[in-house]
Amino acid sequence: MRELTLREKIGQLIVAGLPGLDLDEQTNRLIADYKIGNIILFAHNVKDKEQVKDLCSKLQKKITEHTGHPALISIDQEGGRVTRLPKDAVNVSGAMAIASTGRPENAYAAGRITAREMRALGINFNLAPVLDINNNKKNPVINVRSYGDTAEVVTEYGLQMMRGLQEGGVLAAIKHFPGHGDTAVDSHLGLPSIDKSLEELAELELKPFQAAIDSGAEALTSAHILFPSIEKNGVPATMSRTIITDLLKNKMGYQGLVISDCLEMNAIQKFYGTAEGAVGALKAGVHLLFISHSGQLIMDAVERIEQAVESGELPIEIVDEAVEKVLFYKAKYGIVTDGELTAAEHAVNKRAAEAISLESICHVGGKLDPIQPNAADTIIIGSLPYRPDQASSQIGTELSFPVETGEALGVSYLMTDINPDEQQLNDILAKVRGYSKVVVGMYNGCDHTGQLELVHRLSRAGHQVTAIALGKPYDLEMLEGEVCGLLAFEYTKMAIQSVIRILSGATEPTGKLSLRQ
């Protein structure tokens, strides 16, 4: 490490995104001139397995050539709602769905499956599992990404996922320390604040993180959240030495890699600036800085860190300690030599993931009657998925619950808006008048209350209604009357296929909700 220039050292501490499916001029420049040593992949970088593997191979070659060290190539592959692997790979269910199977071994299996799929493509770093406790139902960004709303459930399942990833040969980052569950603001869009004392955090939010640290956690993601009762300087956890060094490292005994959440998120960029956030994070004790989208912001951050070191504002010893930590994990995980999965191995992973998904579906209230093939008395209705946050795409147009389910069962289907207004509600009620059974695919109806009103009016009009929660499970808590409820937790093809099997009567739902009732 002593042979590295200052710029080469800083480059090892940066994780960059790239704009497309292949290396571009700007990414080449960042690697060659700014010595950027790590990459994060998003959905816009992914087409299919062959393309991803080729891209990772090119990135490793280019980065090793210009920096002398392999790259950490990272991805947000939590499962369920947050997946980045291509469709011809195996994407597992999300956290809350897996916990609702009632079997922690499914979380371990999900970790091992994910690690195999990632390594076959040349990806060595997974930004998962989520150890946030979803103890705020209004949380816009965590919700079903959490295993549950108690420390016990999150710890039990989250540590199994972490272990599965690690034993599968992938570096796993637990997140978002010291806890993003009790927020009503998305840090992609704003700056959340949790006014809890350290003692209060220790009673709940910190428990899964402490258990993971005690179990050998190797990477941890900081949260862009203010904790004013703990950090008095008005900076979020990512920029807080009190939280990252004093609490996490000294008090809780964490010795692994500390990484930032993306420094382009509004919680940092809007309130502090990405370059200043990068310097602040390093001062706090963060080792690896994610600047995931803008090449200009990466260059600004590198130059600002250089200036801070040269002026004495940022001691070189802090930079050196971070570089040593990054290089240690690169030596352990950086070189991925696995070949592609065989067809048989891929098939085994796919069957296991599908079995976990099927076990996750929960029956909540009401009578569940199987839908007969080509039943003329049944119609499926629902909307496309929509997300207000930036943890995933805003509007999904590739998958339609009504179309997928209606065609599979041979029954009628009808598309609706995400939040039908009075005119649309009346139109829908008129169109379904001749159907005695109506299946409604709900997607975060607790946030889009026109969906709730639709279910209530259908039920009051005498229809036998089955409501499927394809997002937050809290939708079903808000329903009235004799409505049959199924929890699927996620608007994915695999979850919808599991729902179809249950609606058809091919199997019984066995999931048990992991949340307190």
The mean pLDDT value for 198-221 works out to 97
In a domain, 141, yes or no: yes
| Strand order across the beta sheet in which 464-469 lies | 362-364, 484-487, 464-469, 437-442, 378-382, 412-415
* Whether the Cβ atoms of residue 188 and residue 203 lie closer than 8 Å to each other: no
Tens of pLDDT, residues 323-332: 999 999 999 9
Alpha helix ranges (H) inside 186-257: 198-203, 206-214, 241
Q: Which of 292, 317, 333 is the last residue of a domain?
A: 333
Catalytic positions, written as ranges: 188, 261
CATH of residue 406? 3.40.50.10090
Distance CA 193, CA 253 (A): 25
Same domain, 401 and 310: no
| Separation of alpha carbons 227 and 385, rounded Å | 33
300 and 151 part of one domain: yes
Question: Would 232 be classed as within a structural domain?
Answer: yes
pLDDT (0 to 100) of residue 514 = 85
Cβ neighbours for 409, distance < 8 A, ≥ 6 positions apart: 371, 373, 374, 375, 378, 380, 500, 503, 504
**339 located within any domain:** no
| Paired sense of beta strands 484-487 and 362-364, if any | antiparallel
Q: What is the mean pLDDT of residues 178-198?
A: 74
The reply to whether 344 falls in a domain is no
Q: Do the domain assignments include residue 291?
A: yes
Q: At what angle do helices 206-214 and 151-167 cross, to 10 degrees?
A: 30
> Is residue 201 located within the same domain as residue 152?
yes
Q: Tell me: pLDDT of 386 over 60.
A: yes
Handedness of CA 192, 196, 200, 201 (dihedral sign): positive
| Residue % of the chain over a pLDDT of 90 | 84
Residue range of the domain that includes 480: 361-503
The gap from C-alpha 243 to its chain's centroid, in whole angstroms, comes to 23
Condensed to tens digits (0 to 9), the pLDDT of residues 284-308 reads: 999 999 999 999 999 999 999 999 9
Sequence-separated (6 or more) residues with CB below 8 Å from residue 145: 78, 80, 81, 82, 94, 95, 96, 130, 132, 134, 391
Instruction: Give the Cβ contact number of residue 376 at 10 Å.
Output: 12
CATH of the domain at 261: 3.20.20.300
User: What pLDDT does 335 receive?
Assistant: 81
**How many domains does one find in the chain?**
2
The pLDDT > 70 percentage for the chain reads 95
pLDDT category at 271 given cuts 50, 70, 90 is confident
pLDDT at 181: 72
Same domain, 212 and 92: yes
CA 347 to centroid of chain Cα atoms: 24
Residues in the chain: 517
Residues 170, 216 contacting (CB under 8 angstroms)? no
State whether 47 and 179 are in the same domain. Answer: yes
Let me know if residue 280 belongs to a domain. yes
Residue 434 backbone phi and psi in degrees, to 5: -85, 5
Check whether residue 433 and residue 382 sit in a common domain. Answer: yes
Query: Does 389 score more than 60 pLDDT?
Result: no
Is 1 a domain residue?
no
Same domain, 63 and 202: yes
Contact 391, 422 (CB under 8 A): no
Residue 510 lies in a domain: no
Query: 84 Cβ partners below 8 Å, 6+ apart?
Result: 41, 42, 43, 46, 75, 76, 77
379 and 447 inside one domain:
yes
What mean pLDDT comes out for the span 483-509?
97
Residue 84 has pLDDT above 60, yes or no: yes
pLDDT reported for residue 340: 82
